[in-house]
Structures are given as structure tokens and as C-alpha cells.
Amino acid sequence: MASNKGPVDMASRRASIADGGGSGRLLLRSQATLIGLLCFSVGAVPRLLPALLGLLALLAALHVFTVDPKRPLTLMRTAFGIALAVFIFYLFINATWAPDRSAGFAKAATVLGLAAAVFLIAASYAFRTGDEARVLAKSALVGLLLGAVFLLIEISFDEPIMRFVNNHIVQVFNAVPKKATVVNGEVTEVTPSVLNRNVTSLVFLLVPGLLFTLALPASRRRTGLVALLALTAISVLMSQSGTSVMAFFVGAIVLGLAALSLKSTRILLAAGWTIATLLAVPLGALPYDLGWQNWKWLPPESVAARFYIWKYTADKVSERPLTGIGIRGTRSLHVDIPIDPKKGRQTPYALRPGRHAHNIFLQTWLELGAIGAVLLLGVGLAGLWEIRTWPATLQTSACALFAVCCAIGVTGFDLWQTWLLASLALAWASMLLAARLPALIELPAAGASPIEDCGKAALPATMA
């Protein structure tokens, strides 16, 4: 195990001394409890993530502002921080011509709030000693394991826990016919797809969760790693979330590639991100133009349906290619799926207008235009650029998480879902917590502190 002493660790010691009284211990315990609850909510109730992440940011602010109030600003003065700030600034400008301006400004404010939360949380982590980081990571791991067990029970037995809560304690979801079967006022059956957001959130947290096992004693690390990996894999494969299944395997493949060659993997990820972002419109229309929607072996209500939606979403981009129709405009647009030009009749999806693009890259072009797509490209590339400064093991994991995010984005439901943005923010914030674990700290060749690199450059991948 490498030593974790360095310039930033001296700052951490000073912070620990200043923060080491009863109030400091209470703050650490509060953070640990909240992190554990956050990670449990990943598998159990993802809709709670934004509120819980906000509370964690408040605790982080209390910690940071008593030690070094300038640290968050230091973290923001990076390539990623600048790229993200410009992107968010454009979101607010774009909201001025959105179909629903209030909703557009609300979503822009949500992105700003989550970004600020992660910068504060990252600054707080930078002042935690290795022992304190282990406490936080263990709490996160326990919460994540319990959340994964909860999710597996729900998937295996048709949501018995949530049905009981919904029927006897408090209504936790809208029991519409699309989501549930209601008999005599009670939910008797839940559509399996209702749990897709839980599965997706769990996939986001899998990579940092595996790193958290390094906080355990050496004799227990393998057990923790296998348990988390097995619970996640079984839950994903049993779910109806094709997006999560794809992201799970893409992450595994990229993790293997990164283990072989980090530089080559970063180049491949940068190339893939560039192609997906800049060529989203022609690539989105391609499957339909090639007739893939007619392949009988594809699930018609998921994969084939996306080919139709992508095609007609791509066609709408040409109406306002530079600035887009406005943030969150896809919901108001109701993209039409008209008569099939090849068959001369309505497609099976004509009665299901696309209120969601099911592809964040296409959605970016439609709502934010070419300007937004270029800015998004810059955010991702800046994140990959900053990742290169991380310690090797952390960098390998970060590449895998970046790939998971991209895979979810390719077929994801909607970019502006608050729980999705919060899951993304939590996943990268968790990587920054893992960066403080002594087992992941490496002594750099040039003699600089790797944790200072992690503190100043790990955050830049937060929303990539």
C-alpha cells in the first residue's frame, strides 16, 4: 500500500486539527450516514437522490467553509470546470426560447445546482484523511450493497416492499395502467419497467462501488467485490432495462481495454464521444434508413421503436439546426411518427408520438442545436483530458465509468430527468471519494502529490 503523505495531505491534517473536535466528528458521522443513505437510495428510491445530494452538499459546505472557502473556486478553474460553466450558461440562454420557459429555466437551474453540489463535495473530500475516507467509503459500500439487495428482492418478487408501502403507508408512484394493475384501490402488480431507473442508477454506481471495497480490510475485499458485482449483474440481467444491460457490458469491455492500455482507451473514448456528439443526427436516422426497424427478431416496443423515434427526431433538427428548439422542448414537440413511406400506412408507433428522444446526443441537437452539441463535446473532451492525471487504477475505473455514461446516453430516456442527472453527479463524486483511499494513492514519478491532482483534476470529469 502506497503512502498517502503529500502536500494536500498536510492540508488535510490541518483541516482535521481544525475540525477534529466534537463538531468535526459529528460532521464526519453525518456525512457517512448521508452517503450510506444516498447509496442505498440508488437501488431503492432513485427519486430521492437529488434531495439527498443537496443535503450532502450542505454538509460539505459547512466543512469546506470552515477550512478553506477558496477550494471550490480552485477546483472550478480547470478545463472541465470552465467547459461545464460555459455549457450551463448556454442552458440558461437557450431556455429563453424554450417552448416551456419556466420548465427550461428549472432544468438549467437543476444542472447548475447539481454541479455546484459536486464541486462542494469534492472540496470536502480533498480535506479528508485516508482514515476518514475509509469511514465514508465503508458507509457508501454498505448502503450500496443494501440497495442492491433491496432491488433484487423487488425485481424477483414483483416489488413486494414498494407495493406494501404504496398500499398501506404512502403512495410512492403514480399507479396508472401503464405502470401498475390496481384492484379495489390496491396495487396488485407493477410493470417491471418501473424499476428501470433503479437498475440504471445502480449501474452508474457500480464502478465507484467496486473501488470502495478497497476501504475494507484486505481479507474482506474480495468478498465485498464479488458480492457487489454479483448482486448488480443479477439485477441488471433480470431487469427489463436494455439500456442498463448494454451499459453494464460496455463498462466491462472498456475496463478490460483500459487495463491493457490507458492511452489507447482514452483515444478511443475521445473518438467515440466526438462521433456520437457531432454526428448524432445522421447516425440517428441511419437505422431507419437501412430498414432495421423491420427486423422481426428485434423487440418491437423497445429497440425497433427507437429507430422510428430517432429518425423523426433527427428530421426535426433541420428546422432549427443552430440554436435548437429550446431546452426540454422535446416533451412539448410531440415528435410525430407518420405514415410509413415504404408501406403506405401508419406504423405501429403512430399512436405513440415521441415525447422523448431516447438518445441524449440527438436530444442535444434538437433542443440545444449545434451550439449546444459543440459545448457538450467540449465538456466530455475536457473531462477525458483531466482524467489522464489520475492514478492508474482510478483512471482505469474512470474510463469505464465514462463509457457507462455514454452507453446510457445513447439509448437513455431523457437527458433532463432529475434522478438521472443526480445519479451521474453522485457517481463521479463517488470516484472522488475513492481517490482519497490510501490503497488508490500512488507516488508520482515527478514527486507531485497525486491527491492534489485528484483534487484539482478529478472533479473535471464529474458531469462528463
Q: Provide the number of structural domains found in the chain.
A: 2
SS3 content of the chain, % helix, strand, coil (to 5): 75, 5, 25
Residue 413 inside a domain? The answer is yes
Total residue length of the chain: 464
* Element containing residue 30 per DSSP (H, E): helix 22-44
Cβ-Cβ contacts under 8 Å for 181 (sequence gap 6 or more): 187, 188, 189, 190
Helix (H) or strand (E) holding 267: helix 262-278
Asked whether residue 434 is assigned to any structural domain, the reply reads: yes
- The answer to the question of residue 342 being in a domain is no
| Listed residue (211, 174, 270) closest to 393, CA to CA | 211
Domain match, 37 and 121 both: yes
CA distance 252 to 266: 15
Q: Are residues 162 and 109 in the same domain?
A: no
Q: Is residue 331 part of a domain?
A: no
Q: How far apart are CA 87 and CA 98, in angstroms?
A: 16
Q: What is the pTM (predicted TM-score) of this model?
A: 0.87
**What nine digits make up the cell of 209?**
462501488
Which of these three, 190, 211, 238, is where a domain ends?
Answer: 190
Which domain does 182 fall in, by range? Answer: 158-190
Residue 95 lies in a domain: yes
* Residues 178 and 239 reside in one and the same domain: no
> How far, in whole angstroms, is CA 161 from its chain's centroid?
25
**170 and 206 share a domain?**
no
Answer for the pair 308, 347: CB distance below 8 angstroms, yes or no.
yes
In degrees and rounded to multiples of 5, residue 181 shows phi and psi of: -105, 125
- Is residue 316, in this structure, part of any structural domain at all? no
Indicate whether 76 and 203 sit together in one domain.
yes
Q: Rounded to the nearest 5°, which phi and psi values hold at 99?
A: -55, -40
In a domain, 369, yes or no: yes
In the block, which residue shows the cell 440554436? 323
Low-confidence ranges of the chain (pLDDT < 70): 1-23, 172-178, 298-302, 333-355, 442-464
Q: Is 190 left (phi over 0), alpha (psi -120 to 50) or beta?
A: beta
**272 and 163 within one domain:** no
110 belongs to a structural domain: yes
Same domain, 61 and 20: yes
On whether both 132 and 239 belong to a single domain, the answer is yes
Residues 60-115 pLDDT 10s? 999 998 888 887 778 788 899 999 999 999 999 999 999 999 999 999 999 999 99
List all residues 6 or more positions away from 277 whose beta carbon is below 8 Å from its beta carbon.
361, 364, 373, 376, 377, 380
**Domain check: are 273 and 251 in the same one?**
yes
What is the pLDDT at residue 193? 78
Model pLDDT, residue 450:
34
Asked if 99 contacts 326 with a C-beta cutoff of 8 angstroms, the reply is yes
> In terms of domains, do 370 and 258 share one?
yes
| Statement to judge: residues 133 and 271 lie in one domain | yes
pLDDT at position 334 is 61
Pure H helices in 157-261: 160-168, 196-212, 218-238, 242-260
Domain identity same for 135 and 217: yes
Q: Give the pLDDT confidence of 126-138 residue by residue, as tens digits.
A: 999 999 999 999 9
pLDDT of residue 414: 87
Q: State the amino acid at position 121 in one-letter form.
A: I
Which residues in 219-244 are b (16+ Cβ under 10 Å) and which e? Answer: eebeebbebbbebbbebbeebbbebb
